[in-house]
Structure 1
Amino acid sequence: MPYHKDKQQAFQAAQQGYEQAIQANGTALESSADPDYATKQQQFEQELSEALQQIDNALEVASEHQRMQLRQYQEDLYNLRKDLY
């Protein structure tokens, strides 16, 4: 049972990180004319890095179904990163 709990906790952490990165991206995009844009952009980049790390960690213990969802999160975040540069 602890192994199952670890998988679920890792997945939930990755999911939460993904959602926070998406939210930070939206905040940064909304404030592109704002003087704090650079700060919000840095916050997004930090959230993005943390989310990708959480996803990598979760992939190590994920079930097949979780793995598919985590890979989708990963792809979405890489696309957001690509759009930045």
Structure 2
Amino acid sequence: MPYHKNKQQAFQAAQQGMKQLDDVYNNLVQDDASYGQQLKHLKQEVNETYQQIENAMEVASETQRQQLEKYLSDIEQIVNEVNLE
């Protein structure tokens, strides 16, 4: 995804990334034979979403920044939960 200096586009990219990350995380199945592959996909989504959020932070309004900080906190929580499993 190309980086956009436009505040709204950058914020929407971060929102979409977060939705995709949530979808991948919510579909993890520990007992599934493909769990390792699922974790690899989750890691990729975490990295991509983190980068989208960092890019959006550079141009974000105060309201957007608060939401982006919440997304970062949510990502940290997901990573911590997966690392505990």
Alignment TM-score, normalising by the size of structure 2: 0.88
User: How many angstroms does 1:79 deviate by?
Assistant: 1.0
Deviation at 1:55, TM superposition (A): 0.2
Percentage identity across paired residues of the two chains: 43
Shift, 1:41, TM fit: 1.0
Alignment of 1:51 onto 2:52: no
2:63 is matched with which residue?
Answer: 65
User: How far 1:33 moved relative to its partner?
Assistant: 0.9
Considering only CA atoms, is the larger Rg found in Structure 1 or Structure 2? 1
> Could you say which structure has the higher helix fraction?
1
Deviation (angstroms), 1:71: 0.4
Structure 1 gap ranges (5+):
none
Aligned to 2:22: 22
What per-residue deviation string (whole Å, max 9, x for no partner) do you get for residues 29-76 of structure 1? xx2111111101110111011101100000000000000000001101
Q: Deviating runs (4+, > 2 A) in structure 1? A: none
Number of equivalenced pairs: 79
